[in-house]
Chains A and B, each alone.
Chain A
């Protein structure tokens, strides 16, 4: 097979896979929230209500397209696209498996193994805010504008701890390539723990997790949407598939963030203590590594849902205070300790 065909297949596969995760996540969110609140949730469409996302999709697609009279029509249409595009592109550098050998050709399970993959994720992740801002501004509605305003301040504040937590990881692994980072997490640490970033960077992991929740603007940091104050924040005026793109983009973001957490802190596709490539055939190994990665990712996706329905929302000044006064100093401390340890051990 030609190389570009393989690349095309990988791109399409990852795109469909991201969409699929987002679709299933809408169902998981509703069922899990129902479970936690002692109700049933959507259970009519298909077994366990599994066809509910399909029904929702049909509803969103067939809804009448309404552009509010006072809205800026071009920006209004542009907003959801600007939000969904970075969400989908960030996944390009995530290594979602090791490699698979098909017809004597070795295919790495990653769309692009670039040596600055990690910076790419950060850069693309920071672009998502424009979707919220443009959506809020174009709606020309006070709640939407307030939502967009909050989104800008929140995302720019939490990008700093996110980047600082990741910098400590770069210091630890000495590379920007996400694939290389996964390879360095094989074997054991201190003789009995899996050699995962989590065990070497426990503080960094917690800081990253908190910042990631804020970057995805999920509860407890969903201030840009805050339905009790801002109706629905920046997407109040949206309906139909434009709203769908915002909601989808959010779940795709969650998928990407979970994948990054798994890649950097939890050994990517590797099982602890067991080397799968030793006893599995080349094709089976490729599929197994993909599944292991997905299982880990699924756990963190569920954690996003779990936290959402467990903790209450922060107040806005608390959010900013936490970001600037707690997370950033802690990140700097973590960075300093890591630098010291790396310097002492190398």
Chain B
């Protein structure tokens, strides 16, 4: 087995478990940070340095910083998570989401065959130029749908934030 993969996969899964079991909000967020970094390392291993960098700069550097901002704004270091973690409704919802994700993963992995040498990578695989090319041709519709989704969130934020519209 691939030692690099094993190291970071174990790190990601371990940190993921730590994230959902941690008793304090900020340590939980740091667990999530570790998950992101481990995933970025795995992307690097899959010859996708650009995705790895996006993972770090967007997920770890922007989204998680916002999460941490909210934690610091609303909680104090002595607050505990237990009430939230014991909440049955959250547990059930979490289970449903986790099972859906597992199902999707299983469905995606059904056709995968293991063994044999890895196929050769196409020219320029993972380079910014190739990435941009695919992004604005084959995957343009995904990009546009995502941007509409963000627009919806933006409109909602303005609606909630403004006292008078």
A pairs with B: yes
Which A positions have Cβ atoms within 8 angstroms of B?
Answer: 72, 75, 114-116, 119-120, 122-124, 126-127, 129-130, 133-134, 136-138, 140, 145, 148-149, 152-153, 155-156, 159, 176
Tell whether, in the assembled complex, residue B128 and residue A130 are in contact, meaning their CB atoms are under 8 Å apart: no
Interface SS of chain A: helix
* Of A122, A129, A145, A153, the contact of B76 (CB 8 Å cutoff): A145
Do residues A114 and B49 form an inter-chain contact, with CB atoms below 8 A? Answer: yes
A159→B61 contact, CB < 8 A = yes
Q: In whole angstroms, how far apart are the Cα atoms of A148 and B76 in the complex? A: 12
B68 CB, nearest partner CB in chain A, Å? 5
Taking a contact as CB atoms closer than 8 A, the residue among A115, A122, A126, A145 that contacts B65 in the complex is A126
Inter-chain pairs besides A126-B57, A145-B72, A176-B128, 10 sampled, C-beta below 8 Å: A115-B128, A123-B56, A123-B60, A126-B62, A129-B61, A133-B26, A134-B26, A152-B65, A152-B66, A155-B65
Contact size range, B: 20 to 34
B9 at the interface (CB under 8 A from A): no
Interface digits, B36-72 against A, CB 8 Å rule (1 contact, 0 not)?
Answer: 0000000000000110011011001110011011001
Given known contacts A72-B77, A137-B26, A145-B72, is B53 in contact with A127 (CB within 8 Å)?
A: no
- For A155, the closest partner residue in chain B by CB is B65
Closest B residue by C-beta to A153: B69
In this complex, what residue of B is CB-closest to A177? B128
Task: Point out the residues of chain B lying under 8 angstroms from A136, CB to CB.
Answer: 72
In the complex, whether B11 has a CB less than 8 A from a CB of chain A is: no
Q: Is the CB–CB distance between A119 and B53 below 8 Å? A: yes
Cα of A114 to Cα of B127 in the assembled complex, Å: 10
Q: How far, in Å, is A78 (CB) from chain B's closest CB?
A: 8
Q: How far is the CB of A156 from chain B (nearest CB, A)?
A: 5
